[in-house]
Structure 1
Amino acid sequence: MSTHAGATVAVVVGNPKPRSRTYDSALTLADRLGGADLVVDLADQASELFDWSSQAVGDLVEHVAGSLVVIVASPTYKATYTGLLKAFLDRFPHQGLGGVTAIPLMLGGSPAHSLATEHGLRPLLVELGATVPTRGLYVLDSQHDQPEPYDAWFATAEQLLPTLSAPVREVTSA
């Protein structure tokens, strides 16, 4: 399904709250990759997410599937990702993220759930055909606006990620 005709770096945020800390963290991580040229804040799509005839959601699926890299971000809910994110990812067919490099990112209130990224979100992205070459990034809510968690992750992940050029355009869901 992926043609890479879409975004170079796409961001998908599964927090039910618009413009959340999860959103901010995903954009912070995208900035480390040169910036996002597609940002999908699923809170903006919640009313159409379960309408399988929604052209807007279908278009977002196509754009994300056509990305080179997608950052998939969620707060930690009940030790896993949100239902909102799952509902969006259910729109992708088998291997629908084939050819896309995915970076799982989760935020949580406690280090006790830090493995949720690796045990919950990562396997879902792999099942959809994405390549996930790095460990996922788990950021404590209290540190979401500090550079240290992103610096530490990026120091080990950078050499495993595709080389990216600067984004061509910015599209935000409204």
Structure 2
Amino acid sequence: MSVLLIAGSPSGHSRSSTLLNEVAHRLHAQVDGRCLRVDRLHIRDLSPQALLLADWAHPSVVRAIEQVAFARALVVATPVYKAAYSGVLKVFLDLLPQTALKDKVVLPIATGGSPHHMLALDYALRPVLQSLGAKHILPGVYASDSQIPRDADGEYQAGEEIQARLDDAVHLLLHEGLRWPASPVFAPIPFVQASYSV
């Protein structure tokens, strides 16, 4: 089983990519890598000319579409500009076949300058994901820039509130979206060791 993390930012170092890294960390912490494969797709690394000219035969585009086809679940992260998801994500989604997300679970994640762009997840991105046949689109996670400040080294760090929301989102992705079995609260006890009274 595979989860594909799609980075839809035109920048290599962004707040939305930071949230995607947080999701990857949580997936690796909760599930053995032999059981759940976590792959990444950075749209900015695809050929810009192939994306803009809709060149489906370009090797980078072919590989990216294959990654989407192979994945059981997608986590799509994007910055929000002018109340819409990023242009690089838009051109990539336009290249996907009409049923590319059929039977797939999708967790959308977005970042923006202020809380006012929060509805871009529901009113801009979600309809496109639905039109591509996504089976289940989980509640998205939106973070404003102030919730992902830079640390002393200049690196973006997700704040506590966003950390907690990502915990919930990954839990939903695994257990509701992918029907991943919950870990037992107690270790199993052999029947011969069980004590009982009549």
Q: Identify the TM-score tier after normalising by the shorter chain.
A: 0.7 to 0.9
Amino-acid identity (%)? 31
* Paired residue secondary structure (2:52): coil
Q: 1:134–1:160: 8 Å Cα contact kept in structure 2? A: no
* Paired residue secondary structure (2:6): strand
Aligned to 1:11, which of 5, 8, 12? 5
Do structure 1's residue 78 and structure 2's residue 65 form an aligned pair?
Answer: no
1:21-72 CA distance string (max 9 Å, x none): 2111112123333377211111222523235131111111111122011111
Question: What amino acid maps onto 2:168 in structure 1?
Answer: A
CA change 1:46–1:74 in 2 (3 A) is: farther
Residue in 2 that maps onto 1:43: 44
Residue in 1 that maps onto 2:106: 102
Distance between the aligned counterparts of 1:122 and 1:30, measured in 2?
Answer: 22
Report the RMSD for the aligned CA atoms in angstroms: 2.2
Do structure 1's residue 140 and structure 2's residue 144 form an aligned pair?
Answer: yes
Instruction: Indicate the structure (1 or 2) with the bigger Cα radius of gyration.
Output: 2
* Paired residue secondary structure (1:61): helix
The farther-off stretch of 49-58 and 96-105 is 49-58
Structure 1: gaps spanning 5 or more residues = 166-174
Runs of 4+ in 1 over 4 A off after TM superposition: none
Counterparts of 1:140-159 in structure 2 under 5 Å? 140-144=144-148, 145-152=158-165, 154-155=167-168, 158=172, 159=175
Structure 2: gaps spanning 5 or more residues = 30-36, 149-157, 182-198
Do structure 1's residue 92 and structure 2's residue 96 form an aligned pair?
Answer: yes
Please, what TM-score do these two structures have when normalized by structure 1?
Answer: 0.81
* Paired residue secondary structure (2:130): helix
Between the two proteins, the alignment pairs up a number of residues equal to 159
Residue in 2 that maps onto 1:161: 177
Distance between the aligned counterparts of 1:139 and 1:131, measured in 2?
Answer: 25
Q: 1:73–1:105: 8 Å Cα contact kept in structure 2? A: yes
Aligned to 1:111, which of 106, 112, 115? 115
Q: 2:85–2:124: 8 Å Cα contact kept in structure 1? A: yes
Q: 1:12–1:70: 8 Å Cα contact kept in structure 2? A: yes
Q: 1:125–1:132: 8 Å Cα contact kept in structure 2? A: no
* Paired residue secondary structure (1:122): helix
Distance between the aligned counterparts of 1:56 and 1:128, measured in 2?
Answer: 21
